[in-house]
Amino acid sequence: MALHALRTVSELIVERVEPADSRDRRRVIASSPELQERERTKLAACTAALVDGLRERGIAEDTARLVAHVSVAVFEAAFTRWLGVDGTAGITRCFDDAVDEIATQFAHDHVARTRETR
């Protein structure tokens, strides 16, 4: 649910931005602690909105927070990758790849931990 929403938002964002402009924006933000804090505040607001939306759909608070944080991290990774390939790969592909990678890593870690406890 949250990943689907952020995937859709990603697609809408990239329709309105140029990769070069976004890379320039990121460089400016990286050069300023104040702007970095503002960016973190925006991401926290996005995460909080996702938590609220998930809670409204009956998801438990702890689970909603976990899903929201992971979803926003996937969004950030996908957008960063999209910028890194000059927008040529498409945001949807970058988003889906990020989701696949995190799912694979979580599954691998879960299997490894399960084997350790046997």
Query: What digits encode the pLDDT tens for the residues 61-113?
Result: 999 999 999 999 999 999 999 988 766 778 899 999 999 999 999 888 777 77
In terms of Cα–Cα distance, which of 105, 5, 16, 2 is closest to 51? 2
pLDDT at residue 54, rounded to an integer: 93
CB atoms inside a 10 Å sphere around CB 102: 16
CB 81 within 8 A of CB 98: yes
For each of the domains in the chain, give its residue range(s) and CATH number, in order of start. 2-116 (1.10.357.10)
pTM of the model: 0.80
pLDDT of residue 63: 95
Q: Tell the residue number behind the tokens 């960016």, with chain if given.
A: 39
